[in-house]
Amino acid sequence: MPGLNEIIAALKGSFALAIGQDSGLAGFERSFDAFWRSFAAILLIAPLYLMHVLAEHRIILAADDFDPATFSAGLYFGVKAFVLIIDWFAFPILMIFLARLLRLTAGYGLYITVFNWGTVLIVAALTPPFIGWSLGYISDFAANIMSLGILMIVLRYRWFIARVALEASPLVATGLVLAEFLMSLLITQSANQLVGLQAGY
């Protein structure tokens, strides 16, 4: 488990990278142990993710077409928990093969370390618009505009991480960002279909 000092340094480094400062890499320890400890960042993400899930559940129950006979709360929460775990490990596993294919294995450990800690900031940034919309504080349009704007920043952030941590070319970095985005989208949509949710939720 990472210590408090390591967590703070990693989050500070993640924020520096988010605003385009490659000096943020100095906030991450470059070791095999630090690589594995970075996966513990899911413990920081879990409470935020739970807020998303509870907000989505509230929206489902309030929907005009909600049918309690066809909706299982147990299945819903179980699948959502499973999605968090699968999505957390899917891209790092895929990157093992992509890094070998693209000859980027030297930067793999640092890249995934930065990627994992950076996800904490990303989930935190995406939480307010979704929660505000689910509670009725902001309109659908405002929530969508805010989320789209944040998504553009997130994609740019992921791209910058690939550029500086992996030392990947702009084209390769773009490909990696798209691969991760599409994989995450596929996992989420597959889970939604499994529990009978529409793509709009």
Question: In the prediction, which pLDDT does 193 show?
Answer: 80
| Residues of the domain holding 21 | 4-194
200 located within any domain: no
What is residue 1's predicted lDDT score, i.e. its pLDDT?
86
- Alpha helices (runs of H) in the chain, residue ranges in sequence order: 4-18, 32-37, 42-62, 73-102, 108-134, 140-165, 170-194
199 within some domain:
no
63 within a domain of the structure (yes/no): yes
pLDDT < 50 regions, the chain: 199-201
* Total of domains in the chain: 1
**The predicted structure's pLDDT at residue 196:** 66
pLDDT for 158 equals 97
How does pLDDT run across 49-59, given as a tens digit for each residue? Answer: 998 888 888 88
Residue 79: inside a domain, yes or no? Answer: yes
Contact 92, 112 (CB under 8 A): yes
Question: Residue 201: its pLDDT value, please?
Answer: 41
